[in-house]
Amino acid sequence: MRHLKSIFAMAIGLVMALGAAQAQQAARIVVPFAAGGGTDQYVRLMVAELSKRGMQVIVENKPGASGIVAADYVARSRPDGLTILMSSLGILANNTVIYEKLPYDPQKDFASVTQIAYQPSIIVGRPDLPYKNIKEMVAYAKANPGKINRGSPGASILTNLAPMAFEKMAGISTTHIPFNGDAPALQALLGAQIDIDGTSITGPLQHIKAGKMIVLGVMDRKRLPQVPEAMTFREQGFDIDALLWYSLSVPAATPRDVIDRLNKAVNQVLLDPEFIIKARNIGMEPRGSTPEEMSKFVKSEFDRWVPLLQSLNLPKQAQ
């Protein structure tokens, strides 16, 4: 009997030890872009704050195919809250228009945790270009068809699609060159391999301050505080706004209590005054939400952008 009790006690101890080990296991936020880009910088800033609060989190970069690589990876992961996707409009909506077939279902395979930030799309260029703003770029593009090479962090990302919609509006075209993330595109711009780049303010901010890049236009109703001299598209005569937003998603079967714990931890960081200052210094505006608010917002963005993209008659891409 004592032998059986000893075995039982050992078994209980083993289960508790395994549970403790699992509890201490670090969560991973999977970023669908290369390391060093604007979004990656922001996620790492947020993760550093979560770590200070006792939550073990690491960042894992899985760039490729406009977020498909990262999204498919998280969709197939165990729904335990330890594998989290940094989501965006491209992953949760636009990829359905851009690609022939997706290995994941953006509406069924994920559950929303929270929004984490937003920022306007911008177009940056080299300072040696013969145009210094969007209005001048349009005039140049009309006089020199096919002469502008435009980069982006990926085909289905808003910083490519919003410029495409703008080009249709303005009656011009550029040669699009997609990259696997913001950082490679910006490096290509610095190396004069492309002329302009659709991006956000976070990645190029240091280069703008150093005089190596200029902002041609901001796709928002107000100017950016980081570069107040840069005009909005509206100020230059073009009625277009395009806000990038970022959120956290987990596999759809993740228990609600796990989602709620993640939501609470992240939103505490997003509301911290010191974190907000740090975020704004890299061009991000922190914004949280409940899981329900985020799900509703994703649907509204899907309903807004997908029909617009379908109207562009974009050729379907294979993965």
In the predicted model, is pLDDT for residue 19 greater than 80? Answer: no
pTM above 0.85, yes or no: no
As a dihedral over the C-alpha atoms of residue 127, residue 191, residue 244, residue 319, rounded to 10 degrees, the angle is 150
Both 112 and 126 in one domain: the answer is no
Residues 158 and 216 in one domain: yes
CA-to-CA distance for 275 and 260, rounded, in angstroms?
21
Say if residues 90 and 153 touch (Cβ distance below 8 Å): no
In a domain? residue 41: yes
Q: Which two tokens stand for residue 115?
A: 């929004």
Same domain, 85 and 43: yes
Distance CA(114)–CA(11), nearest Å, equals 38
Clarify whether residues 50 and 12 are in a common domain.
Answer: yes
226-284 pLDDT tens trace: 899 999 999 999 999 999 999 999 999 999 999 999 999 999 999 999 999 999 888 89
Contact 88, 181 (CB under 8 A): no
Q: What local confidence, expressed as pLDDT, does residue 2 receive?
A: 52
Q: Are residues 36 and 182 in the same domain?
A: no
What is the per-residue pLDDT for 31? Answer: 97
State the residue range of the domain holding 225. 122-236
DSSP characters for 23-64?
A: HHSPEEEEESS-TTSHHHHHHHHHHHHHHHTT--EEEEE---
Shared-domain flag, residues 204 and 257: no
Q: What is the mean pLDDT of residues 57-83?
A: 96
Question: Considering 236, 267, 289, which residue would you say is the last residue of a domain?
Answer: 236
Under DSSP, the state recorded for 318 is P
Same domain membership, residue 169 and residue 256: no
Give the full edge-to-edge strand order of the sheet including 57-61: 57-61, 27-31, 83-88, 243-251, 110-120, 285-286
- Looking at the domain assignment, is residue 30 inside a domain? yes
Residue 130 shares a structural domain with residue 182: yes
Same domain, yes or no: 98 and 26: yes
What pLDDT, in 10s, does the model give residues 82-130? 999 999 999 999 999 989 899 999 999 999 999 999 999 999 999 999 9
pLDDT of res. 312: 77
Residues 6 and 110 in one domain: yes
What confidence tier does 34 reach under pLDDT thresholds 50, 70, 90?
Answer: confident
Question: Is 152 a domain residue?
Answer: yes
pLDDT at 17: 42
Task: Establish if 241 belongs to a structural domain.
Answer: no
The number of distinct structural domains making up the chain is 2
Query: For residue 316, is it within any domain?
Result: no
Residues 232 and 137 in one domain: yes
Cα–Cα nearest to 64, from 93, 27, 99, 114: 99
Last residue of a domain, one of 236, 255, 285: 236
Percent of the chain with pLDDT over 90: 75
- Strands of the chain, DSSP E: 27-31, 57-61, 83-88, 110-120, 122-125, 149-152, 175-178, 196-199, 214-218, 243-251, 285-286
DSSP 282: T
| CATH number reported for the structural domain that contains residue 169 in this entry | 3.40.190.10
Is residue 318 domain-resident? Answer: no
Q: Which of 180, 204, 236 is the last residue of a domain?
A: 236
* Cβ partners under 8 Å of residue 303, min gap 6: none
CATH number at residue 43: 3.40.190.150
Alpha-carbon distance 197 to 308, whole Å? 21
pLDDT digits (tens, 9 = 90+) for 43-65: 999 999 999 999 999 999 999 88
Rounded Cα distance between 62 and 71, Å, is: 9
Answer whether residue 303 shows pLDDT above 90: yes
Q: What mean pLDDT, rounded, does the chain reach?
A: 91
In this structure, are 223 and 144 located in the same domain? yes
